[in-house]
Structure 1
Amino acid sequence: MRNFKELLEENPVIAAVKDMNGLNKALESDVQVIFVLFGNIINISEISKKIYDNKKVGIIHIDLVDGLASREIAIEFLKNNTKFHGIISTKPQVIKAAKNYGFIAIQRSFILDTISLINVKNHLVESCDAVEILPGLLFKVMNKLSKTINKPLIAGGLISDKEDVVEALRSGATCISTTREEIWDM
């Protein structure tokens, strides 16, 4: 397979699928990379084969596979019994093991606040091929939430400057919370 970074740059939309229906739609689409966010030890071989047979890149989120533990033996099982090109995991030891078996390895991180942002930097496995951060887009979520709940909406976490404050308020937040003292007196 060609360089993974180039593949991502040429295909900026990845299909993340949660069930067989989503997988079938992804296989019929133009997307080239599919993140599989479901499965179990009984059906993942079949899932990987469908993706492989359609000449797409399949990457399994190993933390979400029923019946697999987050250990090196699970990586070996995937290597020997599936056609997946790579794995996604939140666990650094799984990322390292996947690289040892020749998989593409994507480290998934949840960034909720400044502390979790620092932790991502501190716990990043250098050999991983990519980092997936979640959530990817909160301003739209704030906008939808502010229209559907009848309560003040407070935006907190990762707000670092006036632009962030303005965008949060414009997106429907009632106010923001931040640990950054320089923002307190805006």
Structure 2
Amino acid sequence: MKLRETLIANPIIVAIRNDHDLDKALLSKASIVFVLYGDILTISNICSRLKEKNKMVFVHVDLIEGLRGDSAGIRYIKENVHPQGIISTKTSNIKYGNQLGLYTILRVFIMDSLSIKTGIKNIHENKPNAVEVMPGVASKIISVIQQETNSCIIAGGLIKTKKDVIESLSAGAVAISTTASQLWNL
């Protein structure tokens, strides 16, 4: 199954920031997990535990302590951690992840019209498999980026209620990522 279809079938993505979140994610019915913490000594175990529960795992490579955000770090993650994909704000990581055959998610922070333009340019140039737009509650921005790039959009950041989920999906996102555990089993 392609990533877009997987996201559409599983629109709630668990985003974990610590071991407590990990324990809750393991018990959730969510199929996709974004790992937003860990270090080079713990990341393999974190991901192994998730994969044992048949979770699709994406590692935010910019947030792993002791790992440089470069080609060697991405290669290390692929060869030793074995996630389905990576998340990064750095276009060079997205480009290299694509070369290695990993699913890639470019995380873009939208603060003004210039960041929208830059984000759209980076999406076209680096061809991530999906784009996580932050903040995810900005449904107008989600709609613009989806129309301009026809990308698979994930809304992330500040999504705390069922209403936020519905608004983001209605704006054109195919999935949302959230650390709000009360939404993980929607």
TM-score over 0.5 (shorter chain): yes
Identity %: 35
Greater relative contact order (Cα < 8 A, sep 6+)? 2
Contact 2:85 2:102 in 1 (8 A): yes
Aligned to 1:137: 137
For residues 102-126 of structure 1, the C-alpha deviation after alignment (integer angstroms, 9 at most, x for no partner) is 1110000000111100110112244
The 5 Å alignment of 1:109-128 reads 109-124=108-123, 125-128=125-128
SS of equivalent to 1:70: coil
SS at match of 1:14: strand
Count of equivalent residues: 140
Distance of 1:131 and 1:100 partners within structure 2: 17
Off by >2 Å, runs of 4+ in structure 1: none
Q: Deviations over 1:22-41 (max 9, x none)?
A: 01111111100000000100
Query: How far apart in 1 are the matches of 2:21 and 2:135?
Result: 20
Partner Cα separation in structure 2 for residue 95 and residue 58 of structure 1: 16
CA RMSD between the two structures = 1.6
Return the index of the structure with the highest Cα Rg. Answer: 1
Q: Which moved more, 1:118-127 or 1:60-69?
A: 118-127
CA contact (8 A) 1:52 1:83 kept: no
Aligned counterparts of 2:107 and 2:8: Cα–Cα separation in 1: 18
Cα distance, 1:83 vs structure 2: 2.4
Structure 2 gaps of 5+ residues are 142-186
**TM-score, L = length of structure 1:** 0.72
Q: Distance in 2 between matches of 1:63 and 1:83?
A: 16
